[in-house]
């Protein structure tokens, strides 16, 4: 186990507003970020499980890395509870309004600041950005091969054997290490946290000295990132305008307040639905 080619695995995770709970949702469906609950990006759960599965297989060390404001430490606790070995929080006010390119730049510098790795796992995408861009942008900066949409994999010797989703099917690929992998949500869901991990996190939430052994907070100066290349300044894109779209339409013929049979009858009579019956 210990002579595996894989010694260090990084998993990149993000805290996002919790859209599963009603809290922080305005009546019109927009988000009140100040009141919204926070959670680990659901796609990152698969990435975390992927990293932990490599740990099970090879005994490697798992490092969870996030970028965000100080409350983002919550998701690092989650990573530790599930079995991550150490965490880094990149937190800096100058990172505000970073787009995907600026985010990938800051994460690249953070990764360079740490000692080497053989695999980097990212979630397929985030639920708040929905772009799926940061993983490949990070791989470009690090000059790595990449396996995106990965739904299963195995480390075989010094190679990654992976299965990825493609249009209408799947593909098996073999990649050299180091490699960047984005994990699809058809991968194994995150397992339950370990009792040992949960106890340890309870302990280090109380004990700052212990906490600092597991969680290191860094800023742009520590990782040596040029602040002009990240944040708003380092972002080549901006959101220039937003339009409401919710009020469009209103021509829906509503069928309600009758017996189900009558409701369905109205629809089958008023549409061409039956023409397509087999």
**DSSP string for 54-106:** HHHHH--EEEEEEESSGGGHHHHHHHHHHT-SEEEEE--GGGTT--HHHHHHH
- List, in sequence order, every residue forming a beta bridge with 163; answer none if it has no partner: 152, 172
Give 115 or 143: the residue with its C-beta nearer to other proteins.
143
Question: What minimum distance in Å lies between the beta carbon of 193 and other proteins?
Answer: 19
Question: What minimum distance in Å lies between the beta carbon of 253 and other proteins?
Answer: 5
Question: What minimum distance in Å lies between the beta carbon of 160 and other proteins?
Answer: 9
Give 55 or 141: the residue with its C-beta nearer to other proteins.
141
Question: What minimum distance in Å lies between the beta carbon of 247 and other proteins?
Answer: 8
Give 128 or 219: the residue with its C-beta nearer to other proteins.
128
* Structure token pair of residue 104: 């990938």
Give 42 or 197: the residue with its C-beta nearer to other proteins.
42
Question: What minimum distance in Å lies between the beta carbon of 249 and other proteins?
Answer: 4
- Classified as helix, coil or strand, 135 is helix
Give 70 or 236: the residue with its C-beta nearer to other proteins.
236
Instruction: List C-alpha distances in Å: 225 to 5, 64, 94, 200, 251.
Output: 30, 19, 11, 32, 53
Candidates 190, 149, 147; CA nearest to 53 is 190
């Amino acid at each position: 186990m210990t002579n595996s080619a894989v010694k260090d695995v990084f998993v990149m995770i993000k805290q996002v507003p919790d859209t599963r709970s009603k809290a922080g949702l305005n009546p019109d469906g927009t988000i009140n970020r100040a009141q919204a609950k926070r959670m680990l990006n659901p796609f990152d759960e698969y990435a975390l499980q992927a990293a932990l599965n490599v740990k099970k297989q090879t005994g490697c060390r798992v490092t969870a890395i996030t970028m965000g404001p100080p409350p983002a430490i919550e998701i690092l606790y989650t990573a530790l509870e599930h079995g991550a070995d150490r965490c880094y929080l990149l937190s800096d006010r100058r990172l505000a309004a970073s787009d995907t390119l600026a985010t990938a730049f800051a994460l690249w510098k953070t990764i360079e600041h740490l000692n080497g790795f053989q695999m980097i796992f990212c979630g397929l995408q985030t639920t708040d950005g929905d772009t799926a861009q940061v993983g490949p942008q990070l791989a470009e900066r690090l000059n790595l091969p990449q396996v995106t949409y990965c739904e299963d994999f195995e480390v075989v010797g010094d190679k990654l054997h992976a299965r990825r989703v493609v249009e209408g099917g799947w593909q098996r690929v073999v990649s050299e290490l180091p490699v960047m992998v984005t994990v699809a949500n058809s991968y194994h869901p995150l397992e339950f946290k370990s009792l040992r991990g949960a106890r340890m996190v309870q302990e280090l939430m109380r004990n700052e000295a212990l906490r600092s052994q597991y969680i290191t907070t860094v800023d742009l100066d520590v990782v040596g990132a040029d602040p002009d290349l990240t944040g708003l300044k380092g972002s080549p894109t901006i959101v220039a305008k937003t339009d409401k779209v919710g009020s469009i339409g209103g021509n829906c013929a509503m069928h309600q307040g009758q017996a189900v049979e009558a409701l369905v009858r109205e629809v089958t009579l008023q549409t061409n639905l039956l023409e397509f019956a087999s």
